Amino acid sequence: MLKVSSLSKVYKRTTAVDDVNFDVSKGEIAVLVGPNGAGKSTTIKSIVGLLRFNGEVTIGSYDNKSIEAKKLLSYVPEIPALFPLLTVREHVEYMSLAYGKSVNKEKIETLLKRFDLVDKQDKLGDELSKGMMQKVSICSAVIVNPEVIVFDEPMMGLDPKAIKEIKKLIIELKEANKVVLLSTHMIEMIEDLWDRVIIMKEGKVIDNVTRLETNHRALEEFFFEITGDTDE
Ligand SMILES: Nc1ncnc2c1ncn2[C@@H]1O[C@H](COP(=O)(O)OP(=O)(O)OP(=O)(O)O)[C@@H](O)[C@H]1O
**Which residue CA neighbors atom 26 of ligand 1 most closely?**
36
Q: Which residues have CB under 8 Å from 227's CB, separation 6+?
A: 34, 35, 199, 201, 206
Q: Is the distance from CB of 131 to CB of 159 less than 8 angstroms?
A: yes
Are the CB atoms for 214 and 54 separated by under 8 Å? no
Distance from the CA of 11 to the center of ligand 1, in angstroms? 9
Q: Where are the domains of the chain?
A: 2-83+149-227
pLDDT in tens, the chain (232 residues): 999 999 999 998 899 999 999 999 999 999 999 999 999 999 999 999 999 999 999 999 999 999 999 999 999 999 999 999 999 999 999 999 999 888 899 999 999 999 999 999 999 999 999 999 999 999 999 999 999 999 999 998 899 999 999 999 999 999 999 999 999 998 988 999 999 999 999 999 999 999 999 988 889 888 988 888 765 4
Ligand 1 atom nearest the C-alpha of 153 is: 27
Hey, what CATH topology would domain 2-83+149-227 get? Rossmann fold (3.40.50)
Residue nearest to atom 24 of ligand 1 (CA): 36
Distances (CA, A) of 192 to 128, 159, 171: 31, 19, 10
CB 33 within 8 A of CB 21: no
pLDDT of residue 217: 86
- Checking ipTM against 0.90, whether it exceeds it is yes
Protein residue with its CA nearest to atom 25 in ligand 1? 36
Q: Using CA atoms, how far apart are residues 126 and 84, in angstroms rounded to an integer?
A: 5
